[in-house]
Amino acid sequence: MPKTRVLGIAYENVTLAEAVRDVLALAQADGTAYVVTPNPEISEACVENERLARAVAGADYVLPDGIGVIMAAKIGGTPLKERVGGFDLATALLPELERRGLRLFLLGAKPGVAEKAAENIHARFPALCITGTHDGYFRDDAQAVAAVNAAGADVVFVALGFPRQEIFMQDNREALQAHILLGLGGGLDVFAG
Ligand code: UDP
């Protein structure tokens, strides 16, 4: 699919509904893909943080989170269809994961938050299988990866804040057995309420 370059980052030009469709296809495909949703703050950070820039450039699917990216695209003459944030995408995915029997793991935020988020998600989508949770304050990536793999999941919501989550997803995509990793910023705090 052709990408649209804005402020140095190549984005998918899709609506939220199209992003859900594409991510579900990736969740059912072989391999592990990761999704990032840069906003202008992340674009700016990429200029100074080469490691973050590589992690964003290495993502399989890049969506514009923030009206600033949409405005810059319009001004640059390459408009994007709409803003699609990580949290919006995650929210729209939940009923579809439930319907298709795709399993979800929640990784990130302070201890207790992912569990609370899982409880709230379960209350709304009782047939959705949440295989496990893990807080985002681990020192050793391998330990978090082992927890995710042991639980077994198709989709992992990775809510470590930026730039940690983007770098984590790039570093660990090979080791993780899930098919989709979705960077969610502080999204688990929101699901936890
Ligand atoms: N977070 C985490 N591990 C870390 C740093 C942050 O799990 O090492 C979580 C934090 O608890 C919060 C989310 O990442 O749920 C976003 O963190 P923060 O507010 O620092 O970042 P921002 O919202 O600016 O991306």
> In terms of Cα–Cα distance, which of 147, 71, 75 is closest to 106?
147
Report whether 183 contacts 162 (CB < 8 A). Answer: yes
The pTM of the full predicted model, rounded to 2 decimals, is 0.97
Q: What atom in ligand 1 is closest to the CA of residue 135?
A: 7
The CATH code of the domain that includes 175 is 3.40.50
- Count the residues in the chain: 193
pLDDT band at 48 (very low <50, low <70, confident <90, very high): very high
2 located within any domain: no
Atom 11 (ligand 1): residue with closest C-alpha? 109
Closest CA to 61 of 29, 106, 13, 97: 13
ipTM comes to 0.92
Q: Ligand 1 center to residue 138 CA distance, Å?
A: 12
Assigned domain for 170 exists: yes
- Could you give the number of structural domains in the chain? 1
Lowest mean pLDDT among 2-6, 85-89, 118-122, 171-175: 2-6
Quickly state the pLDDT bin for 138 (edges 50, 70, 90).
Answer: very high
State residue 2's pLDDT score: 83
Residue 138 lies in a domain: yes
Using the predicted structure, report yes or no on whether residue 1 has a pLDDT greater than 80: no
77 located within any domain: no
Q: What average pLDDT does range 145-151 have in this prediction?
A: 98
Stretch 88-115: mean pLDDT, rounded? 98
Q: Are 148 and 134 in contact (CB under 8 A)?
A: yes
Q: What domain range is 143 assigned to?
A: 19-64+85-192
Structural domain includes residue 156: yes
Atom of ligand 1 nearest to the CA of 187: 15
Residue 73 placed within a domain: no
Query: What does the angle CA 57 – CA 41 – CA 111 come to, to the nearest 5 degrees?
Result: 90
> Rounded to the nearest whole angstrom, what is the distance from the C-alpha of residue 55 to the centroid of ligand 1?
17
pLDDT for the residue 36: 98
104 C-alpha to ligand 1 centroid (Å): 20
Residues 36-63: b if buried by 16+ CB within 10 A, e if exposed: bbbbbebbebbeebeebbebbebbbbbb
